[in-house]
Structures are given as C-alpha cells and as structure tokens.
Copies of this chain bind each other. A is one copy, B any other.
Amino acid sequence: MSTQTQPAEKYTFESFTPGTRFDLGPHTISAQEIIDFAAEFDAQPMHLEETAGKASLLGGLAASGWQTSAILMRMICDAFLLETASQGAPGVDFAQWKSPVLAGDTLRGHCEVLAARPLASRPGIGLVKFRHELFNQRDQLVLACENPIFVRLRVGRMAP
C-alpha cells in the first residue's frame, strides 16, 4: 500500500484497462436548467426561449452544447471520478454535439477506457484515454467525446 492512496480513492491507474466501462446518468434536463446555464454562459436565443428554439435548426428550447458537456462531466464524477486518484485532465480531444438536447430530455450513457499508459515524464502518474457517449430517451446519440485524464498509480514514485 502506498500512503499516496487516500481512503476515498477506490480507483487508481491500475483500475482502468482498455474496455473498462462505466454507466452514466440518467439526468433529466429541465427548461429552467437550460435557461439558467445559457443566461450565464451562452445566451443565444435558442438556448433561452422556446419560440426561438423552435425557429432554429435545433427544433426547440435546446441546451448549449457546453452545458451538455458539463452535465457529462458531472455524470463522470458521480460514476467513478470522485472515487478516483484523479489529477485532472489536459483537455478534450473532441466533443461532438450530435443531436439537440431539448427541455425534458433524459440523458444517459456510458464511458469506456480506450487506452492507458504510465507517463515517463511524470513518475507515478498515468494517462487514461476515455470515450464518453450520451443518448436521449429515444436512444439518439447526443454527445460523443474523447478525453484523457491523469490518474495516480497505486504504488508510484512521487515527483520530487
């Protein structure tokens, strides 16, 4: 046992091997949630008003893609990340907002480990590459996203 592994850390780098999967959600998004997020971060009319949403390509009051992405992050936290020796993430390889997320939609999905490798440049830390997918209640893919997350090894050397 390493003293670096906190009691809350159920998952370390070794827990994540290609094919490891976690279920995400469900989360039902309300009109008010959509409007509140949009007012702060993305005040385009289709994210603020039902009428403008219906007149747009999105077809209704629709969540900002950034909100759907943030909801994905919350689902990842709840599914495993808050019990993981996570050290943050360097970014997102891509995020595809494949279908509109409309008020009242229920989102659920999964994430899967694509690859995992210890970092030569950061002893004791590994990089785990994930693919995340969220679907609505009609099983339409609404978000596909891939990103790497830094995770501590269970028995690792600490950087000086």
Contact = CB atoms under 8 A, between A and B. Distances in A.
Given A64-B73, A66-B70, A44 B91 contact: no
A118 to B, nearest CB: 15
Contact of A91 (B41, B71, B95, B150): B95
Contacts of A64: 73
A69 B66 contact: yes
A94 B96 contact: no
4 smallest A-B Cβ distances: which pairs? A91-B96, A41-B70, A92-B95, A41-B74
B82 A73 contact: no
A77 B42 contact: yes
Nearest to A78: B43
8 contacts: A41-B73, A44-B81, A46-B88, A56-B87, A66-B70, A69-B69, A90-B96, A91-B95
Interface string A121-160: 0000100000000000000000000000010000000000
A15 to B, nearest CB: 16
Nearest to A40: B74
Interface string A38-64: 001111101000000000111000101
Given A69-B69, A94-B93, A94-B94, A88 B57 contact: yes
Given A70-B70, A150-B57, A44 B97 contact: no
A77 B38 CA distance: 10
A118 B18 CA distance: 40
A65 interface: yes
